[in-house]
Amino acid sequence: MKLSEREWLIEQDKLEASGKFETCFALTNGYIGIRGINEEVFCEETPGTYIAGVFDKSTAQVTELVNLPNPIGLRIYINREFLNPLKCEILEFKRVLDLKQGILYRKLRLKDVKGRITTIEGFRFVSMNNKNLIVQKYDVVCENYSAVLNVESFIDATTVNSKDVPNDRVKHYEIDKKKDFADGIYLGITTKDKKYKVGIASSTKVLLNNQRCYFNRFTKDLGYIITENFEVEAKQGERYEIEKLTVLVSSREKNVGDVFETCTNKLKEFETKSAEKLLFEHIEEYKRLWDVANIDIVGDEVANKSVKFNIFHLISMANPEDEHVSLGAKGLHGEGYKGHVFWDTEIFMLPFYIYTNPAAAKAMLMYRYNLLDAARENARKNGYKGAQFPWESADTGEEETPKWGYDYLGNPVRIWTGDIEYHISADIAYAVMNYVRATDDIDFLLNYGSEIIIETARFWASICKYNKEKGRYEINDVIGPDEFHEHCNNNAYTNYLAKWNLLKASELCNLLLEKYPKYFEKLSKKINLSDEEPFVWQEIASKIYIPYHPDKKLIEQFEGYFNLKDFVIKEYDQNNMPVWPEGVELDKLNNYQLIKQADVVMLLYLLGEEFDDQTKKINYDYYEKRTMHKSSLSPSIYALMGVRVGETNRAYINFMRTALTDLEDNQGNTHLGIHAASLGGTWQALVFGFGGISIEKDDVLSVNPWLPEKWESLKFSIWWKGNLLDFKITKDNVEVKKRVEKGNVKLKIKGQEAII
């Protein structure tokens, strides 16, 4: 196995327990996620094994993604003494995440207290084309000694959620079966509340010159751990190969009867192929994904590599085959945010998939559609009509936001987002139209998307309250994207997206009535849509209040925001992140104009056609110097909008903030999981910011790029209405080629119209 070129490699050169690297080196295929721990599993590490959609509550505050048994354990013993890397002299250590091939490589040269030198070198991967499979392959060489080597492979069910937080620590499963079968070992579990069953079967081989070479095999049932051991008469200088195949199967999957039988049968099937063959198939699938998703930045090595890192985790997380799961805010990389799905998915991540993997984007939107009844019930329970999507969603579509958390000082604090951060319903409607516009997937719009848009419009119509005195509709007591400020009245982002949702639903009804009357009749009957409702939506939308100050061309984030005490950010830390201004009290953030993340600027991006360039520039300047970027969602939007308003220096600074969010851990919490929204935001900042892509009226694809000084060129590809387009941008030229053709594409390149 040969590693890829350096631009594709993320390296760790020091052996240590590192939550950052556990997350950055996590491997996932959209079904299984495995954190980047070492095979030996050091006590300071946090093993994490997750299956998309396997949630449970048990004694936790809310339903959360279950941390399943760790299936990748491997240890080496020399004459029955554990070769513990932490107790050896480290002669050589390297771990490398190969982004191009989707593998985690490791090399260790260890000298123990008896002077014995051992080299362990190899890799593991979570298969991209066999969703149930994990492969590990390592070579072991006894450099200056001969001895009995014991290779111990194990499945460890001591794992818990929140292992380092006593108040939140939970074990979500019970072991229901352990077995030594002919080809390996098996451990099965059942989750406590939801009764999901998960089976884990592994088979390990120890080979010399491709022949099995052990003289003894035995297994041990150690309660929460089951092991498979092989004893080998190891000779000095010989290279012994360890191959471990592991299969995970859950009862969530289609056509799974007996989990044990399904699991072991799949394992036997995979055992008919060599590790090299399985690796080849895995790499071929990554080649297919990278063929569209790759971005090349020439002239900026750090930016180029960090962008590839972000894209790697995006292409790894998606599962187009499952329409009942979506992407959590921390991916399948850790337990942060309980594995829940937020607006992050539709607004920050989904555009990447819309333009590089439309099938995956559709599956994520189908997740929302399949939970539409739950959103209707959520609205009903809260006294509203239509569909109110939960701020945090898991497997049922019920609201999963915890009621309590901790502030920046560590004090317990009530979490209100699940109660009053309503904008997610409009965000999902926006995502539906974003997908349909780019793909022309009319079938999806007719059968699924239109119902989402209409039901969310009904929600907004019921939550808007008419103020007779002022002659306007208002939405009060909300939280906008900026979560420093709670219980706000007339948040501009929320009100504007509500207005957009209402008008889009009305427009859609007219479209369906005119062009697809049979579908419209069927839908109207299904949801009891009256003839009057679209007109009511138009009336409400026309009178929704937006706090705008025309004399200054400033959009006020919410009513009364400009009356708050003002602080301007003046200092930045070693990661170029804002430092709290002197005098700020962290338990009184609601009283200041400092904001957590892009709010008004987010609005200017999503509904950019509603605002002129001067308004965008004035508001960008005002809010950028007051944004603390305490959410990883924020820098990418300021990067993108920075390009669009001509603040290119700040655009590049914010772009590097978002691109390096996890690699430099600039939010300080990468150990909890990948910042998935930041991954998607990085891509958007590149393509829609520096790449200059935007969609104008009549679906004209506008290209108006700007490249930072050291960038020689930027290359990327996107799907647009069934056409695959390749872009190569330099400072002097924009080159667009059509790789896959479905029809004519209307372009406007730096103001010049063209058709290809």
What are residue 136's DSSP bridge partners?
124, 244
The three-state secondary structure class of 195 is: coil
Report the distance separating Cα 516 and Cα 503, nearest Å. Answer: 19
The three-state secondary structure class of 426 is: helix
Phi, psi of 99 (to 5 degrees): -70, -35
Per DSSP, 589 falls in state: G
366 φψ region: left (φ > 0), alpha (ψ -120 to 50), beta (else): alpha
What are residue 140's DSSP bridge partners?
120, 240
Report the distance separating Cα 298 and Cα 303, nearest Å. Answer: 9
Q: Per the annotation, does 61 bind a ligand?
A: no
Report the distance separating Cα 431 and Cα 410, nearest Å. Answer: 35
Say which of 45, 451, 483, 647 is annotated catalytic.
Answer: 483
Q: How many helices (H) and strands (E) does the chain have?
A: 20, 34
For the stretch 614-633, what's the b/e string if a residue is b when 16 or more beta carbons lie within 10 angstroms of its beta carbon? ebbbbbbebbbebbbbbbbb
Neighbours of 171 (CB within 10 A): 18
Residue indicated by tokens 């600039």: 666
Cβ contact 113:89 at 8 Å:
no
281 is catalytic: no
Report the distance separating Cα 218 and Cα 305, nearest Å. Answer: 45
Would you state the structure tokens that stand for residue 171, as one six-digit string? Answer: 């074990």
Phi, psi of 227 (to 5 degrees): -125, 155
Residue (of 134, 160, 139) closest to 32 by Cα position? 134
Strand-pair category, 184-191 with 197-208: antiparallel
Strand-pair category, 746-749 with 700-703: parallel
Residue indicated by tokens 């985790």: 313
Q: Per the annotation, does 597 bind a ligand?
A: yes
Report the distance separating Cα 747 and Cα 720, nearest Å. Answer: 11
Chain-centre distance of CA 489, in angstroms? 31
Length of the chain, in residues: 756
Q: Per the annotation, does 732 bind a ligand?
A: no
Q: Per the annotation, does 596 bind a ligand?
A: yes
Would you state the structure tokens that stand for residue 662, as one six-digit string? Answer: 């996890």
Would you state the structure tokens that stand for residue 584, as one six-digit string? Answer: 């700020």
Q: How far is CA 388 from CA 502, 540, 544, in A?
A: 14, 18, 19
Q: Binding site membership for substrate: which residues?
A: 343-344, 596-597
Q: Binding site membership: which residues?
A: 343-344, 596-597
Catalytic residues: 483
